[in-house]
């Protein structure tokens, strides 16, 4: 674990929608899907860096952009001192020889019309290594090394099982003798018993050939098993990165904690383990939340300095506010349920919605503010309702975008240590927002 072999700095990959010629002529604003949104990290020589995250968090796009299989929209990647995005010609070929990829799906990542031997020797042929006979010999050795037999060289992919196909994909990645291999979900399509075989193979080959791995997976147990360091991604950003032991034993970011909690253990004590599930779904990368991207699901959302409500109550109020702001609460059906066609019985409406939206008891002040917002809602004034709640319950998490500080085990959460500029922004924010008076705007 010494020098960084790969340095990724502020890597961005946006996909644009509404960006066709027609859209441009009609003047439609292109809409960015922020698949990878400013990611920085190092991969050190000889280590395995695991990248985990839920589907849609951008981990595969990260791998593909990093290997320059997709053109980045921002940032840079340095491989052993060379800027990958600026290489061309012979230098690019050299980079391609030193860095290889193995893909997730054993069924679609191998050409069905090529034999195992052709698949494995293709990178050698492209880079013009050896004669045909030498390449074939190399393929035979590789097949043996990855746990298949040399006589299977003339078989086609459909004659192999999923685990065997992943071995072929791995042999192909190793054919050119790379130093760095990106493994994109290499075992997630496999059954557990076969998955274990492939994981052991990956570990053996790394030890034998001093490989550096970037290991992408959604299965946390697998990542813990194979990685030296782990990066946790959420919505296109790294929220925490550090040595595997520390990430798993002492997670700092609320998302990492929630993710670790959620994994069911194959153990008879599992039933009694209390799991605090996080609510809701991952937001769309088309329209990520302002500030901290995890704040819409975060169980540890920071309260504004003037507030001291129970955390659970604060969360429910925040969720209720989001629903009002998004227009998810249909006032008409609520009135129907109250059964007052003239819409005069505001108290009944307020009681009903208060009951529906909250499980928690609220402190008196907060109860009053919430009811005030619901009264505005009853009058059909969604804006006023949202404003009432926004005034009192705005969290620093929605205003300030946390960043990943330097260090061995940093995390992007405002609760923890943050870079100086983020800290400064937060102080400024707190100075700008004073405690609102309770009930000041009530009618």
3-state secondary structure of 216: strand
Q: What DSSP letter does each residue of 224-247 carry, written as one string?
A: HHH-SEEEEEETTEEEEEEEHHHH
Residue (158 or 443) nearer to other proteins, CB: 158
How far apart CA 240 and CA 413 sit, in angstroms, is 9
Nearest to 72 by CA among 124, 12, 122, 22: 12
Q: How far is the CB of 330 from other proteins (least distance, A)?
A: 5
Q: Is 86 helix (H, G, I), strand (E, B) or coil?
A: helix
Nearer to other proteins, 108 or 442 (CB): 108
CB closer to other proteins, 314 vs 320: 320
- Least distance to other proteins, CB of residue 179, Å: 22
- For residues 63 and 187, which CB has a smaller minimum distance to other proteins in the complex? 187
- In three-state secondary structure terms, 12 is strand
Residue (18 or 221) nearer to other proteins, CB: 221
d(CA 390, CA 325): 9
Residue 124 main-chain phi, psi, to 5 deg: -65, -40
Q: Point out which residues bind other proteins (CB under 8 A).
A: 54-55, 107, 144, 146-149, 151-152, 158-164, 191-197, 199-201, 203-204, 218, 220-222, 224-225, 244, 248, 258-268, 270-271, 275, 277-279, 281-282, 323, 328-330, 333
Q: Kindly tell me which of 226 and 309 has the beta carbon lying closer to other proteins.
A: 226
DSSP conformation letters of 392-432: HH--HHHH------SSSS-B--TTS---HHHHHHHHHHHHH
Q: Are 54 and 282 in contact (CB under 8 A)?
A: yes
The widest CA-to-CA distance across the chain, in whole angstroms, is: 89
Q: Single out the residue of 263, 270, 228, 219 nearest to residue 247, CA to CA.
A: 228
Residue 61 gets which letter from DSSP?
Answer: H
Helix (H) or strand (E) holding 100: strand 99-102
The minimum distance between CB 303 and other proteins, in angstroms, equals 23
Distance in Å, CB of 90 to other proteins, minimum: 37
In whole angstroms, the minimum distance from the beta carbon of 148 to other proteins comes to 6
How many H-runs (helices) and E-runs (strands) does the chain carry? 17, 10
User: What's the closest the beta carbon of residue 169 comes to other proteins, in angstroms?
Assistant: 15
Nearer to other proteins, 134 or 204 (CB): 204
Structure tokens at 353: 């919605």
Enter the tokens of residue 144: 């043996």
Looking at beta carbons only, is 293 or 418 nearer to other proteins? 293
Nearer to other proteins, 56 or 74 (CB): 56
Angle, vertex CA 184, rays to CA 178 and CA 189, nearest 5: 125
| Minimal distance, residue 225 CB to other proteins, in Å | 4
Shortest Å distance, C-beta 154 to other proteins: 11
Shortest gap between Cβ of 57 and other proteins (angstroms)? 9
């Amino acid at each position: 674990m010494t020098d960084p072999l790969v340095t990724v700095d502020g890597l961005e990959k946006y996909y644009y929608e509404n960006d066709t010629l027609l859209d441009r002529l009609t003047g439609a604003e292109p809409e960015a899907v922020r698949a990878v949104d400013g990611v920085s990290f190092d991969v050190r020589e000889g280590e395995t860096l695991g990248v985990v995250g839920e589907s849609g968090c951008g981990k595969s796009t990260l791998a593909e952009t990093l290997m320059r299989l997709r053109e980045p929209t921002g940032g840079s990647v340095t491989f052993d001192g060379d800027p990958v995005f600026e290489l061309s010609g012979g230098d690019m070929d050299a980079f391609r020889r030193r860095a290889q990829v193995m893909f997730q799906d054993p069924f679609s990542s191998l050409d069905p019309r090529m034999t195992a031997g052709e698949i494995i020797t293709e990178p050698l042929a492209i880079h013009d290594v050896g004669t045909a006979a030498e390449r074939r010999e190399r393929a035979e050795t590789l097949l043996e090394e990855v746990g298949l037999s040399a006589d299977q060289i003339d078989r086609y992919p459909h004659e192999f099982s999923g685990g065997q196909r992943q071995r072929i994909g791995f042999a192909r990645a190793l054919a050119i003798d790379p130093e760095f291999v990106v493994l994109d979900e290499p075992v997630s399509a496999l059954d557990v018993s076969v998955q274990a075989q492939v994981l052991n193979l990956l570990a053996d080959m790394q030890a034998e050939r001093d490989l550096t791995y970037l290991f992408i997976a959604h299965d946390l147990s697998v990542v813990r098993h194979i990685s030296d360091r782990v990066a946790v991604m959420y919505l296109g950003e790294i929220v925490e990165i550090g040595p595997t032991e520390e990430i798993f034993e002492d997670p700092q970011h609320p998302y990492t904690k929630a993710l670790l909690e959620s994994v069911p253990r194959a153990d008879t004590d599992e039933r009694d383990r209390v799991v605090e599930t996080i609510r809701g779904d991952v937001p769309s990368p088309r329209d990520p939340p302002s500030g901290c991207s995890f704040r819409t699901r975060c169980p540890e959302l920071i309260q504004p300095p003037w507030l001291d409500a129970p955390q659970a109550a604060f969360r429910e109020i925040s969720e209720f506010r989001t629903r009002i702001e998004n227009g998810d609460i249909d006032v008409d059906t609520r009135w129907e349920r109250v059964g007052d066609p003239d819409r005069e019985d505001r108290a009944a409406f307020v009681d009903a919605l208060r009951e529906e939206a909250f499980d928690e008891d609220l402190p008196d002040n907060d109860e009053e503010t919430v009811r005030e917002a619901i009264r505005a809602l009853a009058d059909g004034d969604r804006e006023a309702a949202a404003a009432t709640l926004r005034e009192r319950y705005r969290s620093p998490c929605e205003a300030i975008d946390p960043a990943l500080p330097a260090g061995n085990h940093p995390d992007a959460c405002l609760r923890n240590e943050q870079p100086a500029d983020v800290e400064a922004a937060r102080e400024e924010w707190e100075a700008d927002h004073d405690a609102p008076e309770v009930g000041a705007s009530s009618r």
